[in-house]
């Protein structure tokens, strides 16, 4: 009986990977900063948004993974083949800007982690940039990726910290399902940032490419769909507990998250005076992991879209654009992170506000492709699922438009910015 059950669940376990990694990727340096800032600034009032956005994440990730399994192609390839030159350029430019911003945020995360250890960012960031470049271009990054991934497990301590902080669990439960709103433009900005960090454009690129590389076909789709669902739920739970922990430890004392040290304070219930070191280890691992993956995935995305030679195994003479673009992204991210007086946490959150603003363009492109019967055949969205998917795109677009309108009215002096 046990053997039969094991055989039944074995395919689901073997399929684990792309969905779990893609969803967990949202909990990087900018993600931690956004969730911690949310809890510290608004307490439990945005927990409902995390619940809703987690559902949104599953829908978007599922569509991207399904496109990869059915077409056997990455997102950029499909865009280049199915959209006009101008639309392709717009989509690729949008994704490049969004991803470049996150690359910068990862090096900012490295700077913040280094300063928690008492190491100057002017030493740590160039050293990290050189390390990442060498690991990726010399083909050894996949080996140390597991080490960086293990370091990010430090952030699971937020779950324990949340319980030790003894929040009002009835309030937490109600706040997780009952929406609440504020007219404050900063509240809308934080809501957009939550969307941007949870449904980052690069996550859709990553999961689709991973599904293609793994050779997943429609016959195996139900197993991969479970992987996407499992990864999304885990990601949403971790994000919720970061918000709960910071709300219970920082918000109640009126402490805003302005620095990495502020975010680390939420771990004091579990780590005491070691909270800075524990947070710094997690932040360093998350930032180094993404600092290698993001420039590389961005370079692949642009190379696919432009139809040029690509691959880290290629030499500079064989793939000059690919290698030059990857190097340029690493250098740019490191250089901007070294700007004196840069408010690290504020910039990290701001990057994901930008991602939230740019996200609708990618969402509408995904919806156009996923509903193309010539591409997807019988695997297009079902009617009710399509209503949900289009609803997500419209909601995100309206929120982005609202933030832009508020910013314009603030600049014109009509309302307080």
The tens place of each residue's pLDDT in the chain, 417 residues long, gives: 555 554 554 454 444 555 455 555 556 777 888 898 999 999 999 999 999 999 998 999 899 989 999 998 888 889 989 999 899 889 888 888 888 888 888 898 889 888 888 899 999 999 999 988 888 877 665 666 666 667 667 777 888 888 888 899 999 999 999 998 887 778 888 888 888 888 877 777 778 877 887 778 888 778 778 888 888 888 889 899 999 999 998 898 888 888 777 888 888 877 777 788 888 888 888 788 778 777 877 887 787 777 776 666 666 777 788 888 888 999 999 998 898 877 777 777 788 788 888 889 989 999 999 999 999 999 999 999 999 999 999 998 898 888 777 767 666 666 565
Separation of alpha carbons 363 and 203, rounded Å: 12
**Could you tell me which residues come within 8 angstroms of residue 290 by beta carbon, excluding any fewer than 6 positions away?**
25, 28, 29, 102, 106, 109
Q: Are 404 and 192 in contact (CB under 8 A)?
A: no
Domains of the chain: 2-411 (1.20.1740.10)
Give ∠ CA 149-152-157 in degrees, rounded to 5.
Answer: 145
Separation of alpha carbons 170 and 379, rounded Å: 41
- The SS3 assignment for 5 reads helix
pTM of the model: 0.84
- The SS3 assignment for 258 reads coil
Half-sphere exposure of 296 (CA within 13 A, CB side): 22
Separation of alpha carbons 131 and 140, rounded Å: 11
Q: Are 99 and 297 in contact (CB under 8 A)?
A: yes
Separation of alpha carbons 300 and 311, rounded Å: 8
Separation of alpha carbons 383 and 226, rounded Å: 21
Separation of alpha carbons 341 and 338, rounded Å: 9
Separation of alpha carbons 151 and 29, rounded Å: 13
Q: What is the DSSP letter of 381?
A: P
């Amino acid at each position: 009986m046990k053997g039969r059950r094991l055989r039944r669940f074995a395919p689901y376990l073997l399929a684990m990977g792309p969905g779990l990694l893609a969803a967990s990727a949202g909990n990087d340096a900018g993600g931690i900063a956004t969730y911690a800032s949310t809890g510290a600034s608004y307490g439990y009032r945005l927990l409902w948004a995390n619940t809703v956005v987690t559902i949104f994440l599953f829908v978007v990730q599922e569509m991207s993974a399904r496109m990869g399994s059915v077409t056997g192609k990455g997102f950029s390839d499909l865009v280049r083949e199915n959209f006009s030159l101008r639309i392709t350029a717009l989509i690729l430019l949008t994704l490049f800007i969004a991803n470049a911003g996150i690359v910068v945020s990862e090096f900012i995360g490295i700077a913040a982690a280094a300063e928690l250890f008492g190491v100057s960012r002017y030493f740590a960031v160039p050293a990290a940039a050189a390390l990442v470049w060498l690991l990726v271009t010399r083909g050894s990054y996949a080996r140390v990726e597991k080490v960086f991934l293990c370091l990010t497990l430090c952030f699971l301590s937020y779950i324990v910290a949340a319980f030790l902080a003894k929040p009002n669990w009835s309030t937490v439960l109600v706040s997780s399902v009952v929406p609440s709103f504020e007219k404050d433009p900063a509240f809308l900005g934080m809501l957009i940032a939550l969307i941007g960090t949870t449904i980052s454009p690069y996550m859709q690129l990553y999961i689709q490419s991973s599904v293609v590389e793994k050779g997943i076909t429609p016959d195996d789709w139900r197993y991969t769909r479970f992987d996407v669902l499992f990864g999304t739920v885990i990601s949403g739970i971790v994000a919720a507990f970061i918000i709960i922990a910071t709300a219970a430890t920082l918000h109640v004392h009126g402490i805003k998250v302005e620095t990495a040290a502020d975010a680390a304070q939420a771990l004091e219930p579990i780590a005491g005076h070691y909270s800075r070191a524990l947070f710094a280890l997690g932040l360093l691992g998350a930032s180094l992991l993404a600092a290698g993956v993001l420039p590389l995935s961005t370079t692949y995305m642009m190379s696919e879209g432009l139809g040029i030679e690509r691959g880290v195994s290629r030499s500079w003479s064989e793939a000059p654009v690919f290698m030059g673009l990857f190097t340029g992204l690493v250098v740019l991210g490191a250089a901007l992170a070294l700007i004196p007086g840069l408010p690290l946490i504020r910039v990290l959150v701001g990057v994901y506000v930008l991602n939230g603003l740019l996200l609708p363009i990618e969402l509408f492109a995904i919806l156009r492709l996923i509903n193309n019967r010539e591409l997807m055949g019988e695997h297009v969205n079902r009617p009710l699922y399509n209503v949900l998917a289009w609803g997500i795109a419209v909601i995100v677009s309206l929120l982005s438009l609202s933030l832009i309108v508020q910013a314009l009215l603030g600049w014109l002096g009509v309302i307080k910015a």
